[in-house]
């Protein structure tokens, strides 16, 4: 279950100089308070979406929301609102999301470089995660059992899974076939370009 909603906090209260209260005519007695409303998920602020403002006379305690403020109060109150920024904390969620996207992109680029290097210089024990069909969402594994110049001998895993983390689920010696077949580096690169070969892992011993 995802918990999301909206919340708000007080940002700033300041006097409106030169403004007389429309209710009691007391000069310089009106203060305006600016609030920030923000959306949140799991109570972490994502982004602010409005800045309500309320004015109140300290002398007679008459208060007005922005939409019903008298004109002589509304204009200076709106100026105060425009001069007030929402707290950076209210952007925290979007900041976290942006960082996660950047980290994911960097990790993806690093993984792509590793995959390319491993394909160009294969070793016995390398494991290829492959789609069982080009248009399918089921995955299996191929394990390199011999390297012969520009070709490798691989044994297929006899099981499939409908998740990309096939390595974690299927990499058990008992699950691989005893029969091997040969693939060239060109064939492997073609499989990668078509999205059929999705990952290359080199398990360090």
pLDDT tens per residue, range 58-116: 999 999 999 999 999 999 999 999 999 999 888 888 888 888 888 888 887 888 888 88
- 67 DSSP 8-state letter: G
Query: Under 8 Å CB-to-CB from 29, ≥6 apart: which residues?
Result: 20, 21, 57, 58, 59, 60
- With 80 as the cut, is the pLDDT of residue 205 above it? no
Report the residue count for the chain. 205
The domain of 22 spans 4-95
Q: Is 115 within a domain?
A: no
Q: In the chain, which ranges are continuous DSSP H helix?
A: 71-82, 92-120, 166-170, 185-193
Looking at residue 73, what is its pLDDT?
95
3-state secondary structure 14-39: EECCCCECCCCCCECCEEEEEEEEEE
Could you report the per-residue pLDDT of 159-185, keeping only the tens digit for each? 998 877 788 889 999 999 999 999 999
- Identify whether 67 is part of a domain: yes
b/e per residue 84-99 (b: at least 16 CB within 10 A): bebeeebbbbeeeeee
Angle at 168 between CA 163 and CA 173, to 5 degrees: 120
Asked if residue 204 has pLDDT above 80, the reply is no
Which pLDDT value is given to residue 166? 84
CA–CA gap between residue 123 and residue 167 (Å, rounded): 17
The total number of structural domains that make up the chain? 2
Q: What residues have CB less than 8 Å from 6, skipping those under 6 apart?
A: 37, 38, 39, 40, 49
Task: For residues 196 and 86, give the distance between their C-alpha atoms in angstroms, rounded to a whole number.
Answer: 48
Residue 103 lies in a domain: no
Cross-strand bridge partners of residue 139 = 131, 161
pTM greater than 0.85 (yes/no): no
Residues 14 and 69 grouped into a single domain: yes
- Residue 107 within any structural domain of the chain: no
Question: Is residue 16 located within the same domain as residue 89?
Answer: yes
**Cα–Cα distance between 7 and 18 in angstroms, integer?**
33
Query: What pLDDT sits at residue 114?
Result: 86
- Residues 89 and 8 both lie in one domain: yes
109 lies in a domain?
no
């Amino acid at each position: 279950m995802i918990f999301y909603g909206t919340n708000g906090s007080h940002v700033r209260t300041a006097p409106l100089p030169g403004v007389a209260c429309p209710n009691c005519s007391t000069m310089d007695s009106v203060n305006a308070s600016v609030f920030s409303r923000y959306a949140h998920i799991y109570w972490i602020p994502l982004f602010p979406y409005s800045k309500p403002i309320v004015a109140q006379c300290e002398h007679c305690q008459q208060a007005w929301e922005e939409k019903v403020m008298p004109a002589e109060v509304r204009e200076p109150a709106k100026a105060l609102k425009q001069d007030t920024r929402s707290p950076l904390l209210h952007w925290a969620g979007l900041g976290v999301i942006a960082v996660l996207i950047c980290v994911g992109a960097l990790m993806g680029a690093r993984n792509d470089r590793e995959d390319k290097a491993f394909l160009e210089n294969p070793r016995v024990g390398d494991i290829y995660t492959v789609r069982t069909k080009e248009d399918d969402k089921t995955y299996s594994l191929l394990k390199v059992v011999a390297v012969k110049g520009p070709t490798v001998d691989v044994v297929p895993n006899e099981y499939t899974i409908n998740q990309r983390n096939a390595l974690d689920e299927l990499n058990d010696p008992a699950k691989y076939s005893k029969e091997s077949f040969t693939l060239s580096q060109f064939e492997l690169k073609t499989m990668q370009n078509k999205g059929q070969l999705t990952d290359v892992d080199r398990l360090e011993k």
